[in-house]
Structure 1
Amino acid sequence: MSRRTKIKRNFPLADSVYNSVLVSLMISKILKNGKKIRAEKIIYEAFEIIEKKTKVSPLRIFEKAIKRVSPSVQIKSKRNSNSTLQVPKEIRFFRGINLSLCWIIQFAKVRPGRTMAIKLANEIIDASRGSGNSIRKKEETHRMAKANKVFAYQNT
């Protein structure tokens, strides 16, 4: 039996309203306990709020936010005898998008506000403008990678 075959990655289908794969990825990230309709409702409400606040296409702002938040490096911990090293590792484009989606959702959850849709909309707007906690997280990750550039030769 050959071990050379690569497993093909299954991408989610584009969502029905905005016809975007990024939006469907966001829906699947926000999904809890299989309640997809509820997750879709949160995302679409957030997009309506974005459109009201900025008067620009919410999909455009969302894509801009994802582009600004997605990192190009990741920090991996590697144990070396008695010490743990923070090893910077370059990541692929898709992994960067996944991390940015996770960070946006993570920091939207801890924001003050009434509903998740409002909090998510505010986080996306802030990220597209270059501020917000998710942007801070990306900058912190890049700063850590730059500081630990010495250990980049380590294999993780």
Structure 2
Amino acid sequence: MTTEKAQIVEQKVYYFANVKIFDKWDPRGITVEDPGLIEYINLQPRAIPHSFGRAGAKRFGKKHYNLIERLANDLMVTGHVKDSRIHKKTSGRDTGKKQTTLRLIRKGFEIIEKKTKQNPVQVLVNAVTNTSPREETTRIRQGGIIVHKAVDVAPQRRLDTAIRFISHGAAQRCFKKRYTLPAALADEIIAASNYDTKTYSVSKKEETERVAQSAR
């Protein structure tokens, strides 16, 4: 990573120099290897990453939210992943329980730190970088028919998609199993940071890019 890119990351956190995420992990020194995501991965250190939606009404307001908060928001989204007609994601029971979700993420980070001996924030950044697709398809109507065309993915959408893949992968790991969400989330993030193609988030990223490549 070049010095200029590292400085960009440092500038985002310098004015909160004495604050750590969850009062445990220092975001200073975190590197973002993908230059397209540097401006969109927010690493402002907050003891509790909860902004109460202050930037929600702004255009592209999500870029002002901490990465951990965006992960928490996605984990408690009402919806589901359907696999063989079985719901594999929350259908309402986690909606609005942000403090509970943040506690689960903190426990997951503790597991990541114990297993990898690394800063879990850095591991999460690596996982997001590895699971963000660079190309996808969009539908275009031509002469009364719908045609799928390959398009480049905007940086903010890349980040949104990566976080969604990780949260869905964690939900899938612990669905109807004796497996807690913090452990499932930790394993999903660690596997994604190592670019394990067997994990849900990485396989979905590769599937998205493969479909886009076939639609060129």
TM-score range, shorter chain: 0.7 to 0.9
Q: How many Å separate the matches in 2 of 1:129 and 1:68?
A: 8
Partner SS, residue 137 of structure 2: strand
Equivalent position of 2:181 in the other structure: 116
Q: TM-score, structure 1 length as denominator? A: 0.79
- Larger RCO, structures 1/2 (Cα 8 Å, 6+ apart): 1
Is the Cα–Cα contact under 8 Å of residues 13 and 24 in structure 1 kept in the other structure? no
Q: Which runs of no fewer than 5 residues in structure 1 stay unpaired?
A: 1-6, 15-20, 150-156
The corresponding residue for 1:40 is 102
Give the alignment's TM-score, normalised by structure 2.
0.58
Query: Which string of whole-angstrom CA distances, capped at 9 and with x for unpartnered residues, describes residues 63-112 of structure 1?
Result: 00000101111222345456542222212111100000001111111115
> Which structure has greater helix proportion?
1
In the alignment of these two chains, the number of paired residues is 137
Contact map agreement 2:136 2:211 (CA 8 A) in 1: no
Q: What residue identity is the alignment partner of 1:117?
A: P
| 1:22-80 Cα deviation digits (max 9, x unpaired) | 11111111123211111101111111110011111100100000001011112223454
Q: Which residue does 2:194 correspond to in 1?
A: 129
**For 2:150 and 2:64, how far apart are their aligned partners in 1?**
32
Instruction: Please name the residue that 1:3 is paired with.
Output: none
Shift of 1:13: 5.9
Aligned residues: percent identity?
28
Separation of aligned partners in 1, 2:172 and 2:142: 35
In 2, the alpha carbon distance for the partners of 1:143 and 1:13 equals 31
Is the 8 Å Cα contact of residues 63 and 156 (structure 2) preserved in structure 1?
Answer: no
Listed as ranges, the matches of 1:82-101 within 5 Å are 83-101=145-163
> Aligned partners of 1:54, 1:116: CA distance in 2, in Å?
18
Structure 2 residue ranges without an equivalent (≥5):
1-57, 77-93
Contact 1:69 1:127 in 2 (8 A): yes
Q: Provide the rounded CA distance (Å) in 1 between the counterparts of 2:209 and 2:64.
A: 32
Mapped partners of 1:109, 1:79: distance in 2 = 35
Query: Contact between 2:104 and 2:181, CA under 8 Å: does it hold in 1?
Result: yes
